[in-house]
Structures are given as C-alpha cells and as structure tokens.
Structure 1
Amino acid sequence: MQRARTGDYGGMSGTPRTVRSRLAAAWSGFWLVPAAFAAGAVLLAVGLSVAELRLGLPTAGFLPSSVAGARSLLSSIITAMISFTALVFSITVVAVQLASSQYSPRVLRTFLRDRITQAALGTFLATALFAMVVLAALPAGPDARLPELSLAVTMTFVLASSGLFVYYLHHVTTVMRVSHIIAAVGAQTRRVIEEQYPVGPAGAPVAPLTPPVQVITAAQPGMVEHVDLGRLAALAREHDCALSVLPAPGDFVVAGQPLIAVHPLPGGQLPASVPETRACVAVSLGVERTLGQDVGFGFRQLTDIAERALSPGINDTTTAVRSVQEMHDLLRRLAGRPGHRLLVDDPDGTPRVRARAQDFDGFLAVAVDDVRRAGRDQPRITRLLDDVLADLRSVALPEHLPDIARRTESRQA
C-alpha cells in the first residue's frame, strides 16, 4: 500500500483552505460587521464631502452656524462615541468571561456571533469615524460655508447610536440568561439537523469500497470542521477512483493520522497518485469544533452546561433539566430520520466519495450517558432521562431502536 504524506504547512494558519471555508470563517467572525460599518461610514463621509457644494439643506437653528461651533460639536461626538465603544467592548468581554466560567467555554461562539453586539460596536465606530472625517473636512475660514448635510448625517448617527446603546443594554442582559443560551444553541443545532438529516426513507445499503492503494495523512492536528464532498467527487472523477474520508466531522486528527484513502474502482485499473494538497484542501481543519456538518457539537455544548450545572460547586439542577429538555427535542427529531450518509455517486452508480458521518448512538452517548453519569445522585435528572428514552423509543426508526434499547436495558439491570 502506498502511503503519502502532505507537506508541512507550518501550523494551523498554513492549512490549505477553500474559498467557501474562508468566507464561512469571515462571516462567523466577530470583526466583519464592525469593519463593514466603519468602512461604510468613512466612504459615506468622503462622498458627502465631495458632493457637499452641490447640495443644500435647510438646517437653520438646528445645527451650528459657525465653524467653531461645528468643530466643538464634532469633537464632543467623537469623544462620546469612543467612550461608548469602550463601554460596549468592556461589557462584551465581561459577558464572555462569565459565560465561559459559569456555563461552558464552548458557548463563547454564540456570543461572538451575536449580530446585535456586532452592530452596536460597528455603529459606534462608524459614528466616531464619520465625525472624524467631517471634522477634518471643515473649512478653515470663519465665514466659510459649513457642510450642513454632513453635520445632519452626523446628528442622525448620534441619535441612532443613543437608541442602539439602550437596546444593547437590554439585549446583553437577555442573552446572559442561561435559558436564552440553551435555546440559542438548540436553535442553531436544529438548523443543522434540517440541513444534514432530511426527512425520508432510509437509503439503499452502500457497497464497500475496494482496499485502498494510497493513504493521505494530515499535515498537522486539528478538528474536522467541514468535508467538501463536491470537491472530492470532482477529484475522484479526474483520477478515475473513489475517495473515502476516514475521520468524521467533529473528530480530532493528529499530524500523520490517515485522513483520506484512495480506492480503485471495481474492475478498473489502479488510479494515478492523487495530489495530496488538492485532496486535503477539501477537508477543513480548525482549532475548535463548529456547527455545520458537526451536529454533535450542539449536543456537546448542551451537555457541558448540564454537567457544569450538576457539579458540586454550582448544584443547579434546574439548569441541567432545561439542557436535557432541549436535547430531548433534538434527539426526537433525529430519531425519526434515517442516519446521515456523506457520500457521492455518479448517475450510473459509480462510487466516488465515502465519508464517515456522526451516528445516533454517538448523540445518545453525549446527551444521555454523560448527563446520567454526572446526575446519578439527582432523581430529577435520572427520571427525566428515563422519560426521554421512553419517548424516543415510541418515535424512533427501527435502525435507532437498538441504541435506545441498550440504554433502557442497562438502566433496568
């Protein structure tokens, strides 16, 4: 068996990534919305400064009538907006620290992706930068014509920032509640379930692939974030072979661990060596798990909240119960759906890509086994988990019943 290894990329930052994965990382990042607001404010201020002489605005009695008054107003706005920005940043950092210590470090992503916080920070930055550009464009002469439109837009930004700041204070106190965090994680996981686990009959059995002739290994460690099946299928057709991804989304791989196997087609010739870099770029690795193809990450977050709530230092059974109830809804949705299959075949049935998918037994292991172990001395938790299994047994497809029955029988033994 030929064994190939990809080159050393010098750390996670050098991992080859697809355009899709880069766009997804940027969209989920905390910086994108504030940066877009700030850039838009600067462009708007410059554009208004250029068009100011061609436009007139009746603002007598509302805006400053002198250059000195406008300069003083703009300076005050800049100072206030910078203070607002620092306050929002400080509140966000405190909220993140509290959530990490009290609930789970894995729920930080929920806070960082919160669009209200990003919009508040972006609005304050945009107002400050807009005022700075207008201040820089003020004429020097005391009798010069004032940029009335720019000043009016600045005041509009100030009013919008004031209203958004009040709403932000309300919003941050809402998202800090544990019930909101649990509901947010559940809602995100439900969206992934709808995408990855469609409702319908189980597919036909999948024929096993031939033994591999080439194994491509991971260049560095990381969590499997996303498997690009379309890119792998195109690569397999180009080299007239089939590819199988060995780890599942959410698994951790170490440097040198087998990542992708190359299989000859049944009755076909041995394929040419598949380029390692082109194959590896289709399997995105990261430093942490993310929701996408990784439904189990949602269960992991909810279980972490339940386990921490059941710890002796916190002893909050009600929070653990709420987490189990949210996972009950997720498990019930999955119990009535066939297992997820990450595969691509040609129209004529030729296999092209096979990838491991997370199974229902793994979800039960996280949601039921881990929580039962942490709450074995809490009757409310044990009774709730028994009720969850009984309900799942009434709606589960036949392929999931053995996983449920095994846990029910072990409980009765």
Structure 2
Amino acid sequence: MTGTPHTVKSRLTALRTSFWPVPAACAAGAILLAIGLSVLELRVGLPFGNVLPSGLAGARSLLSSIITAMISFTALVFSITVVALQLASSQYSPRVLRTFLQDRVTQFALGTFLATALFAMVVLAALPDLSSARLPELSLAVAMILVLVSSGLFLYYLHHITSIMRVSHIVAAIGAQTRRSIDEHVPRTSAQETTVRLPPPVSVVTAPGPGLVDDIDLGSLARLARAHACAFSVLPTPGDFVVAGQPLVTVHATEAAPPPPVPEARVRAAVTLAVERQAGQDVGFGFRQLADIAERALSPGLNDTTTAIRAIQEAHDLLRRLAARLQHPWLVRDDDGTLRVHATPQSFDSFLAVAIDDVRRAGRDQPRVARLLDAVLADLRTVALPEHLPDILRRLNP
C-alpha cells in the first residue's frame, strides 16, 4: 500500500520516529511490574511489612485516587500537545509537526502517566478481599513513588513544551537533524567518481502508485541485480514525487546475453514510497522546512523578519557543509568493479533553489533578507568546490 514503508531500514526508521512506541513500552512495563510485585508479595511474602501502614479500605482509596489523577494528567498533557501542534502548524509550517511528535520528553511524560495509572489499576485488582489478609505494601509504595515521579515530570513537561515551541529551538532541531543526514549520505571525500555509462535499458520497472521517494535500499537492489546478472538505475531522487506507472527503476544488461526477467515486486519494495517527506536520504527536506518557516515569516500576515533571518542562518550552516563536499552518485559495485546499482542524490543546485531562490522571492521587499542572502552566497563562494561555483555565481550575480 502506498505510504507504507517496505525496506527493513525504513520500517525501523518509522518505528524509531513514531510517537507510540515509548508510551506503549512504559505501559507494558508498568503492567508487568505490577503483576510481578503483586505475585511476589501475596504468594512469596517478601519482608516489606509496614511500608505504608493502612487497611484495605485505605489502600483501595489510595489506588483509586491515583488512577483518577493520572487519567486527568494524561488528558491534560495530550490536550497541551495537540494545542502545541496546532500552533506550530499554523505559525511555522505543517512539516515541523514531526519534530514535536518525535520529542522524547512528551513521549516519556505520556508514557509515565499511563504507566502510573495502569500500575495502580493492576495493584487495585490484586488487592485481597479480606481485610485481615496481607496487603501488597511494596506495590503501594511503588505506586506512590510513580506519583511523585509523574508530578515532577509534569512540571518539567510544562517548561519543556514552552521551550521547544520557540522558533529558535525548532530551527535548531531541524538543523541538527539535517546535519546528521548530511554526514550519513553526503560523505567527506576528495575522490572524484568517473562518469558512469550504463548500456540502454532492457526493461523498466514502474511505480506501483503515487508517493514520495523516501528510501532507496541500495544493498537490496545490489543483491537482486547480482542474482539476475544485471544492473539497476534508480531514476527519481529522494524527495521526488512519482505517480502510478511512472518509470522508477531501469534494468540494464551487464553481460552479452540479456538478463532474465527480474521480480518487479522485489525491485519496487527496495524503493520506499511515503505519503510525506522525512529526514534521512532526503537531505533537502531540512532545507524545505527552513524555507517554509522563512517564507511564512515573511508573509504579510506575520511580517516577522527576525524569524526568517534565523531560518536563513541555519540554512547557511548546512549549505556551507555541503559546498565543500562532492556530490557523488550512489554506486554499488562488485569486487571486480561491475556496477550493480546507480542512483542520483539531490544536487547542490536543488538545495540552493530552495534555501536561496524561494526565500529571495518571498523577501524581495525586505532589505535585511536580501543583504543576508547575498552575504550567504558570498561566503559559500569562498569555501565551495569548483563544481559548485557556477550554481553560486549565477545567484550571486543575477
């Protein structure tokens, strides 16, 4: 189905960046802990008597109060998070919502509140019916500790959510995420790749449906090409949108005889199509987010030049890193040098088009923005490799 990750890497990335795993793990851990403590105390009889001296009625009242309070805490945190997402979406860009959803403090806050409520529920269910029976006093003590932890975490959450909603924090988070993508997918190297010339394609694998190219599993394609004595060339770059039936991967012969038919389903599965862009191989997504923030800040409705300048400054740092790195095609070869996979990453010119051209058009009536963009290009000119200079000079001297 379109939008569902196919490759193992994209599945792991989707799981790691999803909102639900941390709260779910906290909830499951709380249930297991409550069951384990209750069984140990009621059946094994651990020596923890008089930790919380109270009768059966007091224990039931305590646990019921904890459950009620934690459910209220959870609803309040969820409401605050939704409001924060709405404000960020309307004021900055809908594409920054992923930054909030990936925030670990929010995830742990919700997870802790859920864990406390579920822990109390399990302990309440495990209470004996007879008032003379031994109470799970260690479990009651742990429930109280979880309440104290939840209270402190709630206060910290209120401070944290107001901090990460500030534009400087959002811009810095986008920059940090994009720098990780640059270091992983645009390596520092001084070796220039030779021009790759593949023979004419013998067949074409088309896209199964519409979507954005999210991840290209080069290793899977290489193994498949090796098994079928062919080479693959991935046509779109990460971040490109493809429609159903559009050429996705071309198949090339590597030997004199034509290669056997390749399993198209496996080829398609190596190119993940998603419903939205995300950081990873799509280095340009960071520039798109920063440009969106700058353009929205420069709109007549907001007219916030300072925010636009902050976004341009972050993009400047990213462009400076990329200007000193060669834009190599992604190639996978056998030990004997036989080319198996060829893919084209995003170009430096495409990054400039988003970070410079789009923002310049939005800020054409803002002298501060125009001067800053010219200064950014002038600085890039001093550090850029020769292959990037034409793209920079064309924008510096329009």
Q: TM-score range by the shorter chain?
A: over 0.9
Aligned equivalents of 1:59, 1:375: Cα separation in 2 = 71
Aligned equivalents of 2:170, 2:69: Cα separation in 1 = 31
Correspondences of 1:13-162 after superposition (within 5 Å)? 17-52=6-41, 53-58=43-48, 60=50, 63-162=52-151
The corresponding residue for 2:370 is 382
Aligned equivalents of 1:362, 1:55: Cα separation in 2 = 68
Aligned equivalents of 1:206, 1:283: Cα separation in 2 = 24
Aligned equivalents of 1:371, 1:55: Cα separation in 2 = 69
Task: Check the 8 A contact 2:48/2:138 in 1, yes or no.
Answer: no
Cα deviations by residue, 1:360-404 (Å, 9 ceiling, x for unpaired) = 000000000000000000000000000000000000011111110
Task: Check the 8 A contact 1:202/1:339 in 2, yes or no.
Answer: no
The one-letter amino acid paired with 2:321 is R
2:292 aligns with one of 293, 304, 329:
304
Q: What are structure 2's unaligned runs of at least 5 residues?
A: none
Q: CA deviation at 1:148?
A: 1.0
What's the secondary structure of 1:140's corresponding residue?
coil
Which is further off, 68-77 or 146-155? 146-155
Q: CA deviation at 1:164?
A: 0.5
The one-letter amino acid paired with 1:104 is S
What's the secondary structure of 2:159's corresponding residue?
helix
Task: Check the 8 A contact 2:192/2:328 in 1, yes or no.
Answer: no
What's the secondary structure of 1:17's corresponding residue?
coil
The one-letter amino acid paired with 2:298 is L
1:355 aligns with one of 324, 340, 343:
343
What's the secondary structure of 1:284's corresponding residue?
strand
Task: Check the 8 A contact 2:40/2:46 in 1, yes or no.
Answer: no
Aligned equivalents of 1:43, 1:403: Cα separation in 2 = 59
The one-letter amino acid paired with 1:353 is V
Which is further off, 204-213 or 104-113? 204-213
Cα deviations by residue, 1:325-373 (Å, 9 ceiling, x for unpaired) = 0000000000011114211111211110001210100000000000000
The corresponding residue for 2:262 is 274
Identity %: 70
Aligned equivalents of 1:149, 1:377: Cα separation in 2 = 67
Aligned equivalents of 1:297, 1:154: Cα separation in 2 = 44
The corresponding residue for 1:339 is 327
Which is further off, 371-380 or 42-51? 42-51
The corresponding residue for 1:407 is 395
What's the secondary structure of 1:12's corresponding residue?
coil
What's the secondary structure of 2:201's corresponding residue?
coil
Aligned equivalents of 2:45, 2:378: Cα separation in 1 = 71
Task: Check the 8 A contact 1:343/1:352 in 2, yes or no.
Answer: yes
Q: CA deviation at 1:58?
A: 4.2
Task: Check the 8 A contact 1:393/1:404 in 2, yes or no.
Answer: yes
Q: CA deviation at 1:16?
A: 6.9
Task: Rate the CA distance shift 1:320–1:68 in 2: closer, same or farther, 3 A.
Answer: same
What's the secondary structure of 2:397's corresponding residue?
helix
Aligned length in residues: 397
Q: CA deviation at 1:57?
A: 4.7
**Cα RMSD for the two superposed structures:** 1.2
Q: What are structure 1's unaligned runs of at least 5 residues?
A: 1-10
Task: Check the 8 A contact 1:244/1:262 in 2, yes or no.
Answer: yes
Aligned equivalents of 1:68, 1:273: Cα separation in 2 = 73
The corresponding residue for 1:234 is 223
TM-score by length of 1: 0.94
Task: Check the 8 A contact 1:57/1:149 in 2, yes or no.
Answer: no
Cα deviations by residue, 1:188-239 (Å, 9 ceiling, x for unpaired) = 0011111111112042213210100110101110010000000000000000
Aligned equivalents of 1:47, 1:302: Cα separation in 2 = 49
The corresponding residue for 1:223 is 212
Aligned equivalents of 2:53, 2:124: Cα separation in 1 = 13
1:167 aligns with one of 145, 156, 171:
156
Aligned equivalents of 1:16, 1:69: Cα separation in 2 = 51
Aligned equivalents of 1:112, 1:206: Cα separation in 2 = 42
1:364 aligns with one of 322, 344, 352:
352
Aligned equivalents of 2:219, 2:375: Cα separation in 1 = 41
What's the secondary structure of 1:216's corresponding residue?
strand
1:186 aligns with one of 150, 163, 175:
175
1:203 aligns with one of 170, 192, 210:
192
Aligned equivalents of 2:39, 2:8: Cα separation in 1 = 36
Aligned equivalents of 1:65, 1:204: Cα separation in 2 = 76
Task: Check the 8 A contact 1:16/1:280 in 2, yes or no.
Answer: no
The one-letter amino acid paired with 1:137 is A
The one-letter amino acid paired with 1:287 is V
The corresponding residue for 2:281 is 293
Task: Check the 8 A contact 1:232/1:282 in 2, yes or no.
Answer: yes
Task: Rate the CA distance shift 1:400–1:74 in 2: closer, same or farther, 3 A.
Answer: same
Aligned equivalents of 2:142, 2:338: Cα separation in 1 = 62
Aligned equivalents of 1:16, 1:83: Cα separation in 2 = 35
